[in-house]
Structure 1
Amino acid sequence: MKTIINKLLKKQWIIWIGLLLLILFFILNKDLISLLLDGDVEGIRSFLNKNLGFALFFLFIVMLIQNSFTVFPLVLVITINITLFGFMKGFLWSWFTSVVASVIVYCSVRYIFQDIIMKKFNPKLIEKVDANGFTYVFQARIFPFVPTSIINILAGLSTIRLFPYLLATSIGNFLYFFVLALIPAGILSAEWDEYVIWIVILAAIALYYFIKIVRNKRKAVSLEKDNID
Structure 2
Amino acid sequence: MNDWLNPDKIIELAQHYKSLGPLLGLFLPFAEAFLPFLPLFAFVLANAAAYDLWYGFLLSWAGTTVGSYAVFLIIRKYGRNRLLNFLTKSARIQKLIKWVERNGFGPLFLFLCFPFTPSALVNLVAGLSDMKKKTYLVTLMAGKFVMIFMISYIGYDIKALFTNPIRTAIVVVVILLLWFVGKYFERRLNAKVEADFRASASTHNHK
Offset, 1:43: 4.6
Q: Give the aligned residue type for 1:71.
A: F
Offset, 1:132: 1.2
Match of 1:106 among 72, 77, 101: 72
Q: Give the aligned residue type for 1:190.
A: T
CA contact under 8 A between 1:75 and 1:181: conserved in structure 2? no
2:32 corresponds to? 66
Offset, 1:165: 0.8
Measured in 1, the distance between the counterparts of 2:38 and 2:169 equals: 24
Q: Is 1:180 matched with 2:140?
A: no
Offset, 1:195: 4.1
Q: Is 1:122 matched with 2:93?
A: yes
Q: Is 1:136 matched with 2:93?
A: no
Q: Is 1:95 matched with 2:61?
A: yes
Q: Give the aligned residue type for 1:72.
A: L
Question: Higher relative contact order by CA 8 Å / sep ≥ 6: 1 or 2?
Answer: 2
Q: How many residues align?
A: 158
Q: Give the aligned residue type for 2:102.
A: A
Q: Is 1:78 matched with 2:56?
A: no
Offset, 1:196: 3.9
Measured in 2, the distance between the counterparts of 1:76 and 1:42 equals: 16
**Structure (1 or 2) with the larger CA radius of gyration:** 1
Measured in 2, the distance between the counterparts of 1:122 and 1:113 equals: 12
Q: Give the aligned residue type for 1:160.
A: M
- The C-alpha deviation readout for 1:165-187, integer Å capped at 9, x for no partner, is 11111111111111111111237
Q: Secondary structure at the match of 1:191?
A: helix
TM norm structure 1: 0.60
RMSD: 2.7
1:160 corresponds to? 131
Offset, 1:100: 1.0
Offset, 1:123: 0.8
Offset, 1:97: 1.4
Q: Is 1:190 matched with 2:156?
A: no
Structure 1 residues 113 and 169: alpha-carbon distance in aligned structure 2, compared to 1, 3 A threshold: same
What are the ranges of 5 or more consecutive residues in structure 1 without an aligned counterpart? 1-39, 203-229
Structure 1 residues 88 and 48: alpha-carbon distance in aligned structure 2, compared to 1, 3 A threshold: closer
Of all paired residues, the percent bearing the same amino acid is: 26
CA contact under 8 A between 2:61 and 2:145: conserved in structure 1? yes
Measured in 1, the distance between the counterparts of 2:12 and 2:122 equals: 31
